[in-house]
Amino acid sequence: MLFNKSVVEFGIIGLGRFGYALTKNLADTGKEILAIDTLESRVKQLRNITQSAFMLGSFDKEALEDSGIQNCATVIVCIGDSIDANVLTTLNVISMGVKRVIARAMSYEHGMILEKIGAEVIYPENDIAVRLAQKLVQSNIMESIELKGDIEISEIKLHSNLAGQTVKQINLRQKFNLNIIALEHNGETTTEVDPECVLAAEDNIVVIGQKANIRRLEAFLSKNSR
């Protein structure tokens, strides 16, 4: 067995661009990972990031078991150059009893197959395109996180629209049915938002609420900044 620890947080199979970026970002946050690929060149690229990157001769069930991938709490199958290899590898990992298996899909049809065999599905290219489109058309929204039930958390730049008013005066709860959960004011961020805080032109707020209401606020800010 290449990796003999009893429980590992994340296993990553396939170290192309997506797999490499995922491994690097998880490693940068201190997460415990096991990363594997069939190409030595890809594995070498990660040796300065993590010592838990290994080359396998194949992704068949025996090789995967030898790698210790079954000891991972979550396994992400990032193979993007072969749908067949992606599906078979995902099936092998699921059959090994890994509790959570996430697989990259290259098309909607591919994703349906992965869901049928029990994997969670991600569409990296589509997700990137959606995030880029949001940034292009929502100039005031800096970052956003989608939650269940059509709820979103968004960081919004205020510009000069609301400068000089207090948090209480802008009254986003009544006007847009949104709650401010954090405020970046004068270069400092706080989650204890003072209703009497006077907003400055370049302050940022983090709000939570229905997506439609956040879009309404964004439209208001864009209209009044022209």
Same domain membership, residue 120 and residue 14 = yes
Q: How many CA atoms lie within 13 A of 114 on its CB side?
A: 29
Whether 51 contacts 33, CB under 8 Å: no
Decide if pLDDT at 124 tops 70: yes
Same domain membership, residue 55 and residue 148 = no
The reply to whether 3 falls in a domain is no
The reply to whether 2 falls in a domain is no
The reply to whether 133 falls in a domain is no
Decide if pLDDT at 139 tops 60: no
pTM here? 0.60
- Lowest-pLDDT range of 64-73, 87-96, 160-169: 160-169
Select from 95, 91, 75, 104 the least CA-distant residue to 8: 75
Same domain membership, residue 122 and residue 100 = yes
Same domain membership, residue 188 and residue 99 = no
Give dist(CA 163, CA 125) in Å, integer. Answer: 38
pLDDT attached to residue 49: 85
C-alpha angle 19/124/24, rounded to 5°? 30
Same domain membership, residue 176 and residue 155 = yes
Decide if pLDDT at 74 tops 80: yes
What are the helix (H) ranges across 46-166?
61-67, 83-95, 108-116, 124-137
Decide if pLDDT at 137 tops 60: no
Decide if pLDDT at 72 tops 90: yes
How do residues 159-214 score in pLDDT, each as one tens digit?
777 788 999 999 999 999 999 888 888 878 888 888 998 988 888 888 899 988 98
The reply to whether 1 falls in a domain is no
pLDDT attached to residue 2: 61
Same domain membership, residue 87 and residue 114 = yes
| CATH classification of the domain holding 26 | 3.40.50.720
Q: Using pLDDT thresholds of 50, 70 and 90, give the confidence band for residue 70.
A: very high
Beta bridge mates, 101: 75
Give dist(CA 78, CA 216) in Å, integer. Answer: 37
Same domain membership, residue 121 and residue 29 = yes
The reply to whether 166 falls in a domain is yes
How do residues 7-23 score in pLDDT, each as one tens digit?
789 999 999 989 998 99
Select from 171, 147, 161 the least CA-distant residue to 222: 161
Same domain membership, residue 106 and residue 146 = no
> At residue 202, what is the residue type?
E
- Lowest-pLDDT range of 75-79, 87-91, 205-209: 205-209
Domain limits for position 63: 8-127
